Amino acid sequence: MHMFLLIIQVLVSLLLMSLILLQSSKGGLGGAFGGGELYRTKRGAERVVFTATIVVAFLFLIVSLANVAVR
What local confidence, expressed as pLDDT, does residue 42 receive? 75
The runs of H, that is alpha helices, within the chain are 2-22, 29-32, 45-70
pLDDT above 90 (res 62): yes
For 46, half-sphere exposure in the C-beta direction (CA atoms, 13 angstrom radius) is 8
> Residue 43 is part of which domain span?
2-70
Number of domains in the chain: 1
Rounded Cα–Cα distance for residues 35 and 70 (Å): 46
Indicate whether this model's pTM tops 0.85.
no
What local confidence, expressed as pLDDT, does residue 14 receive? 98
Angle at which helices 45-70 and 2-22 cross, to 10°: 160
Express each pLDDT in 6-61 by its tens digit. 999 999 999 999 999 998 776 555 455 555 555 667 788 888 999 999 999 999 99
Rounded Cα–Cα distance for residues 47 and 62 (Å): 23
